[in-house]
Chain A
Amino acid sequence: AQSVSQHNHHVILSEAASLELGCNYSYGGTVNLFWYVQYPGQHLQLLLKYFSGDPLVKGIKGFEAEFIKSKFSFNLRKPSVQWSDTAEYFCAVLNNAGNMLTFGGGTRLMVKP
C-alpha cells in the first residue's frame, strides 16, 4: 500500500526566509507525485506535479520540488517566502492505475510579516 509522510506538522518562518518542506513516500510502482496547497478559507489547489522527466519540478508562485528516487523524497522548496504563503501544504502520491491519490498529513506553514 502506498503512503506519504510529512514530518513537519507546523513550520513558522519570517518573510524572506527559505522554505523546505519534507515529503517521503512509500510506493512500489511508477511514482506520480503532487504538492497541493490550501490557503485559509480556500479549497485545495495544485501547486506542482511530477510524472516523469526532469526531477526538478517548478510550480506556481515560485515553488519547486525535487524528486529524489533514492531517498523516496519529493521535498518542496521556495527560496524566499512571503506572508501570503501562509497555508497548509499537502504532498500526495498517485498510483499507476490513477485511481488512488494518497495524501500526507499536511504541513501548516505560518509566515510572519
Chain B
Amino acid sequence: EAEVAQSPRYKITEKSQAVAFWCDPISGHATLYWYRQILGQGPELLVQFQDESVVDDSQLPKDRFSAERLKGVDSTLKIQPAELGDSAMYLCASSLIPGPPINEQFFGPGTRLTVL
C-alpha cells in the first residue's frame, strides 16, 4: 500500500540552529500539505502545495519557516532559526486533488522535533 514518507522521524536540535524535514507524497498526488501538531492538540495546517505552487501559506511563520516543492513531487520544510516553541510533530499529508468529494488526505508518520 502506498504511503507518505517522511524523514527524519525524530530530530533534536538546539535553539537558533537550522532544521529541515523531508516529505515524499504518494505517487500521483498533486496536493501536498505540511501540518504542525503541538502535543495535546490537533494538527494545524502550515502550508499547502498544488504541484509546485503554494496554494496557502497563511499560517506559516515566514520569518523563520520556509517550504518548497521544486519539482512538484517531494517537499522540504525548513526552520531557521529554530526556537523552543517549535518543538512539535511535523506532519506531511498528500491528496490526489484538493476539495470534495474525493479529497482524502493521507498522512505520513511525522517528524518529531525537539528544540533544546
- A12 at the binding interface (Cβ < 8 Å): no
Q: How many residues of A contact B (CB 8 A)?
A: 26
Partner of B45, one of A6, A51, A90, A100: A100
Cβ–Cβ < 8 Å partners of A59 in chain B: none
The closest CB in chain B to the CB of A92 belongs to B42
Stretch at the interface among A13-21, A40-48, A64-72, A79-87: A40-48
Give Cα distance in the complex from A51 to B100, angstroms: 7
- B61 at the binding interface (Cβ < 8 Å): no
A98 touches B98 (CB 8 A): yes
A103 touches B56 (CB 8 A): no
Assess A105 versus B41: contact at CB under 8 Å? Given A98-B103, A99-B48: yes
CB A40 to nearest CB in B, in angstroms, measures: 12
- B43 at the binding interface (Cβ < 8 Å): yes
Cβ–Cβ < 8 Å partners of A44 in chain B: 43, 91, 93, 107
Chain B residues within 8 Å of A, Cβ to Cβ: 4, 33, 40-45, 48, 55-56, 91, 93, 97-101, 103-110
Chain A residues within 8 Å of B, Cβ to Cβ: 4, 6, 32, 36, 42-46, 49, 51-52, 90, 92, 94, 96-106
